[in-house]
Structure 1
Amino acid sequence: MVHMSAAQESDAYELDDDPTRIQVDAVWEWLSTEAYWGRWRTRADVETQIANAWRVVGVYRTDTGEQVGFARAVSDGVGFAYVADVYVLDEHRGHGLGKRLMQLMIDDGPGADMRWTLFTSDAHGLYRQYGFTEPDRTAMVRPARIA
């Protein structure tokens, strides 16, 4: 096993918010087989969601260019944003990529001062680091009709 320093480890990955760089095949592969949410979506649905996203962020290996993480957001561009489909491939976890992904998506992006929402049943610890909390009495949600 090769051990890398923190600097080498961070250099092993690049994060980018260029939508033309997103590898739709890689995103589809993970979302359609590994995600516990939204598996009802077709490939065309996922392609539409990526194409219509307000913002996307990809995580890429610097040596191969392989996409190993992703997040997308929808927004009104002024005061509200919703982050979805956040993932890092299992074999690339443990390198702080989830934190870097959220940092670029939320705090270092154009929506840093917006109200952000998300739905998740895991990774609450990660999201709390970026100011997410459970909704208060002012929040209401209408669940999707799709199972």
Structure 2
Amino acid sequence: MAEAETGRGWTDPTCPVARTVDLVGDRWSLLIVRDAMEGPASFTEFRRRLGIARNILSDRLRKLVDHGVLVTSPSGGRHVYELTGAGRDLFTVVVALRQWGERHAFADGEPRSRLTDAEGRPLAELRPRGQDGAPLTAGATRVERVG
């Protein structure tokens, strides 16, 4: 998405991380995406699940639709929001955040929701890997800056 299309500047125009955070990095946007992964939902359903103020929900839904993360379609006299391909691609991001939270945001034994596969098994831990399949850390990578 070009800067001219958004009507505003980017935090760091050449960084994919910064641009992604600009689009979906606030608390509510990611929670909307997380909930949309369960299937199409109406404005009212999002509001009920998240306990979010109307004006904030309206703003975030508009932003996610404008940037191609969600699409709206009519359903029974109301509009529902569904993830686009770009929105579904955020599944890995949501899983990575969930796994980080499981390791670092809960005390041992503290109750929390679980994400499992269709057979009820825990997901494998996400880890970046190189082209050869070997695990990578931040220290084993570099960012090639432009301009």
TM-score when scaled to structure 2? Answer: 0.31
Larger-gyration structure (1/2): 2
TM-score when scaled to structure 1? Answer: 0.31
Higher percent of residues as strand: 1
Higher percent of residues as helix: 2
Greater relative CO (CA pairs within 8 A, separation 6+):
1
